[in-house]
């Protein structure tokens, strides 16, 4: 196959030129804003189409007092309304239809009942977002067992239901190797807490679920009855979460939350924390 070319005399080099120069790269080149379009527009749109990298790793926050002392135990004490419409303070398991055998043989009526703690980013029900939730199931603490044997009791056996108050004792796993730990720590996304930044507050609202009756009872931070429009401000316990150079910690705001008490123990580096919760009474 033959191809014929017609040579333009103007391409010849010199007066008596016998050669023609052809470039190696015969592709055309743009001399406009293509590079700018590629760098600014195309690459920018590619970045927008890629989902951002999110850090879903959570940190474990440890309860402390005054930034210095660890908390040895956290005790949630729950007081519920009796059949007469008044609060039973304290409330015993027998007051909520839990029998001796329910406790002794760890029946579902006892073990599946739970304290439900819901943590929100603020205390306004119209704008708040649920951050995390903790369920603490019924269990016995050391004080709920007989420590010595008599003619009517056996050491190591649980006390009767009318002698065991409705409470949830959470132990520090470092100081109490044998205990109940669920709910002692709070878990939150670590990238939301920077070192030495001001604390972020979570507002805890509590409910009690009875596996015996199937009812969920809303709890308040006050034992008094309030009108509906004021009751909303008595539902929350304030937790302050923060991070410093040594780790992640939380403490409770005893000014905002009047249902919270810290108390000292024999060890000067430890404190006990008690949180009182009461079934809601509305006027």
DSSP letters of 111-138?
HT-EEEEEEESSS-TTT--EEEEEEEE-
Instruction: Tell me whether residue 52 is in a domain.
Output: no
Q: What is the pLDDT of residue 11?
A: 57
Domain count, the chain: 1
Calculate the alpha carbon distances from 150 to 19, 36, 160, 163, 192 in Å.
Answer: 122, 91, 15, 17, 56
Instruction: Tell me whether residue 25 is in a domain.
Output: no
Considering the entire predicted model, what is its pTM?
A: 0.80
Q: What is the pLDDT of residue 67?
A: 77
Both structure tokens of 225: 């009855």
Instruction: Tell me whether residue 9 is in a domain.
Output: no
Q: What is the pLDDT of residue 91?
A: 97
Using only the alpha carbons of the chain, give its radius of gyration: 35
Report the distance separating Cα 283 and Cα 281, nearest Å. Answer: 7
Contacts of 197 (CB under 8 A, 6+ apart): 242, 243
Q: What is the pLDDT of residue 30?
A: 56
Q: Using alpha carbons, select from 262, 264, 244 the residue that is nearest to residue 252.
A: 262
| Tens of pLDDT, residue by residue, the chain (283 residues) | 555 556 666 655 555 556 666 666 666 555 556 666 666 677 777 777 777 666 678 899 999 998 779 999 999 999 999 988 899 999 999 999 999 999 999 999 999 999 999 999 999 999 999 999 999 999 999 899 998 888 888 888 999 999 999 999 999 998 888 889 999 999 998 888 989 899 999 999 999 999 999 999 999 999 998 888 888 889 999 999 999 999 999 999 999 999 999 999 888 889 999 999 999 987 7
CB 236 within 8 A of CB 125: no
Both structure tokens of 134: 């903790």
Instruction: Tell me whether residue 12 is in a domain.
Output: no
Report the distance separating Cα 115 and Cα 164, nearest Å. Answer: 16
Q: What is the pLDDT of residue 20?
A: 61
Instruction: Tell me whether residue 32 is in a domain.
Output: no
The torsion of the CA quartet 85, 91, 96, 99, rounded to 10 degrees, works out to: -150
E strand or H helix at 78: strand 69-79
Instruction: Tell me whether residue 49 is in a domain.
Output: no
Range of the domain at 65: 61-279
103: buried, middle or exposed (CB in 10 Å: 19+, 13-18, 0-12)?
Answer: buried
Q: What is the pLDDT of residue 10?
A: 63
Instruction: Tell me whether residue 167 is in a domain.
Output: yes
- Residue 251's beta-bridge partner residues? 240
Residue with tokens 């008596």: 16
- Residue 137's beta-bridge partner residues? 114
Instruction: Tell me whether residue 201 is in a domain.
Output: yes
Report the distance separating Cα 239 and Cα 119, nearest Å. Answer: 9
Contacts of 220 (CB under 8 A, 6+ apart): 231, 234, 235, 277, 278, 279, 280, 281
């Amino acid at each position: 196959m033959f191809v014929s070319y017609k040579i333009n005399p103007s391409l010849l080099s010199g007066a008596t030129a016998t050669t023609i120069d052809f470039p190696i790269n015969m592709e055309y080149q743009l001399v406009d804003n293509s590079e700018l379009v590629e760098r600014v527009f195309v690459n920018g749109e590619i970045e927008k189409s890629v989902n951002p990298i999110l850090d879903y790793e959570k940190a474990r926050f440890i309860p402390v007092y005054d930034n210095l002392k660890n908390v040895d135990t956290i005790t949630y004490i729950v007081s519920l309304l009796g059949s007469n419409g008044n609060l039973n303070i304290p409330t015993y398991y027998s007051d909520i239809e839990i029998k001796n055998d329910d406790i002794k043989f760890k029946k579902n009526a006892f073990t599946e009942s739970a304290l439900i703690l819901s943590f929100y980013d603020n205390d306004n029900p119209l704008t708040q977002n649920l951050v995390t939730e903790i369920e603490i199931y019924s269990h016995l603490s050391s004080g709920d067992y007989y420590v010595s044997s008599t003619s009517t009791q056996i050491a190591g056996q649980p006390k009767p239901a009318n002698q065991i108050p409705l409470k949830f004792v959470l132990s520090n796993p470092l100081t109490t190797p044998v205990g109940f730990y669920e709910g002692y720590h709070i878990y939150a996304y670590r990238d939301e807490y920077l070192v030495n930044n001001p604390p972020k507050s979570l507002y805890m609202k509590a409910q009690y679920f009875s596996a015996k009756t199937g009812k969920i009872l809303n709890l308040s931070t006050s034992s008094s009855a309030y009108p509906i429009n004021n009751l909303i401000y008595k539902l929350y316990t304030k937790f302050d979460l923060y991070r410093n150079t040594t780790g992640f910690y939380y403490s409770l705001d005893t000014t905002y939350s009047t249902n919270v008490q810290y108390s000292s123990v024999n060890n000067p580096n430890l404190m006990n924390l008690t949180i009182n919760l009461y079934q809601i009474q509305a006027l």
